[in-house]
Structure formats: structure tokens, C-alpha cells
Amino acid sequence: MTFTDTQFGRAIARAVALLSFLSLLAGPGAIEAAAATNSFDGNWKIYIFGGQDNCTFGYRLPITISEGAVLYNGRKVHPTVIGVSSAGAVAINLGSGSNHVTGTGALASNRGSGRWSAPQFSCGGYWRAEKR
């Protein structure tokens, strides 16, 4: 069984699709106002790991941080969906309703880590980041 065959996997896939859609809705002024050049700019690989039971998985996600804004597949993500502060604090708020995933963490100059949860699935895990 693949990750996307699980209920949680499908929820994450929908959340990523929603992330892409929300980034299109974000007005450029809102993103530019929230973005500030910082030492975290560059290409990152995010490794997402699930806990036990229905969310046992590992997933890799490439992102770019440019002038403080998060980009996924070349598109800016609205800072309320995935935000990185100039101090490196990370806030994640994907999806809505029954497909809601939240997370927190922090980045250092070339590494980062944090936790995420999807309470409606009694599921959670952690993430790690490496700057490339």
C-alpha cells in the first residue's frame, strides 16, 4: 500500500494541492509585505515523517525561500499557509475542516526541525529541513 492509498495520505495530497491553490489567491502585495530578506533564503529539502498506525510514512518536499517568502514549485505560498519569520520560526497551517494539518518549528542557518499534527486523524509526526 502506498502513502496516497491511506486516508491520511490522500488528505496530505489534498492539503498540498490546496497549498498551491492558496498561493495563487494570495495578492502579491500581501506576500511581498510579509517577505523580508533573511539568511534562510535558498533551496531546502523538507523531510516529513509520520508517527504510527495510519500515518507511518516518510516524504520529501523541495521548497525555496526567496527574500523571506516560501516557494513551492516556483510559486509563492501565502505566509499564513507556511510562514518563516526573519528569526527562523516556522508556522504551518495546511488545509481546512477535516483535512487540517498544523505545525511549528524553527530553522537555523542550514538546518531545521519541528513537529506537525493532524488531530482529526489522531496522527502527528515531525519534520526536518536541510539547506542545499
Q: Could you tell me the pTM of the whole model?
A: 0.71
pLDDT at 2 over 60: no
Evaluate whether 103 touches 87 at the Cβ level (below 8 Å). no
pLDDT at 79 over 90: no
37/61 Cα distance (integer angstroms) = 22
| CA–CA distances in Å: residue 25 to residues 21, 56, 68 | 7, 32, 19
Evaluate whether 11 touches 84 at the Cβ level (below 8 Å). no
Determine the pLDDT at residue 8.
Answer: 63
CATH number at residue 73: 2.40.128
Phi, psi of 88 (to 5 degrees): 100, 0
88/96 Cα distance (integer angstroms) = 25
- As for how many domains the chain has, the answer is 1
Buried b (16+ CB within 10 A) or exposed e, 110-120: eebebebbbee
Q: What is the pLDDT of residues 22-60, one digit of tens each?
A: 444 344 443 343 444 568 999 999 999 988 766 778 889
Determine the pLDDT at residue 44.
Answer: 96
| CA–CA distances in Å: residue 16 to residues 29, 72, 73, 101 | 23, 10, 11, 10
Q: What is the pLDDT of residues 80-112, one digit of tens each?
A: 888 899 899 999 998 877 778 899 999 998 999
Determine the pLDDT at residue 120.
Answer: 82
Domain limits at 127?
A: 3-131
Written as nine digits, the cell of 121 is: 486523524
